[in-house]
Amino acid sequence: MKLNERSVAHYATCNSPPDKTGFLFKKGERNTAYHRRWFILKGNMLFYFEEKESREPVGVIVLEGCTVELCESESEEFAFAIKFDCVKAKVYKMAAENQAAMESWVKALSRASFDYMRLVVKELERQLEEVQEEARSSQAKSMLKKHQLQLQGATFSLQNATITGPSQEGVSSRENGVSWSKPPSVPNGVSNTQGDCSERGDGVRPHPVPPRRKTNGGSLESPVSPGTGCFSKLHDWYGKEVAELRIEWLQSHGCRQNESPNS
Amino acid sequence: MRFNEKELVFLSRQPSERAAELGMRGPKKGDVVKRRVVKLIVNFLFYFRTDEDEPIGALLLEQCRVEREDDQVFSVVFLDEAERKYLFECDSQEQCVEWIDAIIKASYEFMRKNLIYYRTEIHRLTGKDPLEQYGISDETRFQVNSGLPPLPPAAT
């Protein structure tokens, strides 16, 4: 079977960093003595050279589908073997120069397959998606909070402008049991926020967040479409939420003035 | 250069990422287009005569470039011999695009870049190294320090 050997050999010595290099003893295929060779592991390919300075590899072992095992050898200490599953498969017998080298090579070789790399990549890809989704939903939550705070500040100023009754005299007014000191300047209306909660002046305590409003789809986070890193889309969606919340709030507040407040 | 041919032939019989009968032309002057069954398995492209089980040959897809040559034709070129092109003729534009995409993603080095990107991003967002739980955070192949800054996965 043909192989693009020249290019494969080039892969061994090109400037991409190898995964592991070092001297190992390799049992010869015809001459069964162990020969010391310089090994370069790159990806799923294990190249071996006569000398460290050699420019062309003597050979390459494609490591896909192999298992690496420690083995007993009468002549060599620190021996291990690269085995394949197919019929009449080769067994490559190797020996390292010391225990640490042997363990290190066995580890590196058993994780060298393309399949293994693919597994790890898929797992990390999944983890990253999870983390990004979490980040998006918590960003969305905090944005909704900011919208609500602005909303409450804006409707507060609206209310101050229209009420003339005695219950609204003075600087402070009460809402939901929280007393507010009137800020020196309050944003007009529900501003077209660019996403930042602009300064609302000193002395304004954050309003308690109203109970979560459940949408038809379930939790507040779910309507955020995956992959919506696009702020304007998120903003439009929350703009609708805010408008609805505003109506609710105004209505509930309109009622409260004429009736005795419920606890 | 010696290589474990039997094991490679065995690999060519494994389930493929993608397989199709394509027109294939070798890189030598005078090579003509021949119908071949082309199979993409891990980072190898195997090619067979249409009626045979044993591959004629294999191409290791590292250090190579894939390019659109025509509506339905793509080429594979190895960086050490950029003048030599392997040409593949597809049956449709769609098939051509799919093969190009598949081959680009088939290299070990491409996967490594992705892994480094994901690892770096997860670490940036969570402060944790995702490889630690698997006990492989020290493996050379997963290191970011290849001298280059980690890049996001290439679009093409």
SS (H, E, C) chain B: CEECHHHHHHHHCCCCCEEEEEEEECCCCCCCCEEEEEEEECCEEEEEECCCCCCCEEEECCCEEEEECCCCEEEEEEHHHCCCEEEEECCCHHHHHHHHHHHHCCCHHHHHHHHHHHHHHHHHHHCCCCCHHHCCCCCHHHCCCCCCCCCCCCCC
Pick A111's closest partner by Cβ from B2, B122, B139. Answer: B139
Chain B CB within 8 Å of residue A180 CB: no
Mutate one of B108, B109, B120, B125 to test the A interface: name it (highest A CB count within 10 A). B108
Examine residue B142 and state whether it is found in any structural domain, yes or no.
Answer: no
Residue-level pLDDT at A139: 85
Number of domains in chain B: 1
B85-89/B57-60 β-pairing: unpaired
On chain B, the residues whose CB falls within 8 A of the CB of A90 are 4, 6-7
Q: Residues, chain A, total?
A: 263
Examine residue B22 and state whether it is found in any structural domain, yes or no.
Answer: yes
Examine residue B119 and state whether it is found in any structural domain, yes or no.
Answer: no
Q: What is the CA radius of gyration of chain B?
A: 18
Pick B63's closest partner by Cβ from A10, A86, A89. Answer: A10
Q: pLDDT, tens digit, for every residue of A188-238? A: 443 333 333 344 444 444 555 555 544 444 443 434 444 455 666 666 666
What CATH number is attached to the domain comprising B11? 2.30.29.30
Q: pLDDT, tens digit, for every residue of A51-60? A: 999 999 999 9
Domain A5-112 has CATH 2.30.29.30: yes
| Full domain range(s) for residue B83 | 5-110
Examine residue B128 and state whether it is found in any structural domain, yes or no.
Answer: no
Smallest Cα–Cα separation from A22: which of A37, A33, A10?
A37
On chain A, the residues whose CB falls within 8 A of the CB of B77 are none
Structural domain boundaries of chain A? 5-112
Residue-level pLDDT at A207: 55
Query: Strand, coil or helix: what is A117?
Result: helix
Q: pLDDT, tens digit, for every residue of A40-49? A: 999 999 999 9
Q: What is the ipTM of this complex?
A: 0.89
The mean per-residue pLDDT over the stretch B63-75 comes to 96
Examine residue B30 and state whether it is found in any structural domain, yes or no.
Answer: yes
pLDDT over 50 (residue A257)? no
Pick B1's closest partner by Cβ from A5, A44, A64. Answer: A5
Examine residue B118 and state whether it is found in any structural domain, yes or no.
Answer: no
Examine residue B76 and state whether it is found in any structural domain, yes or no.
Answer: yes
Dist. CA A140–CA A138, nearest whole Å: 5
pTM over 0.80? The answer is no
Examine residue B135 and state whether it is found in any structural domain, yes or no.
Answer: no
pLDDT over 90 (residue A110)? yes
Q: In Å, how far is B76's CA from the nearest CA of chain A?
A: 12
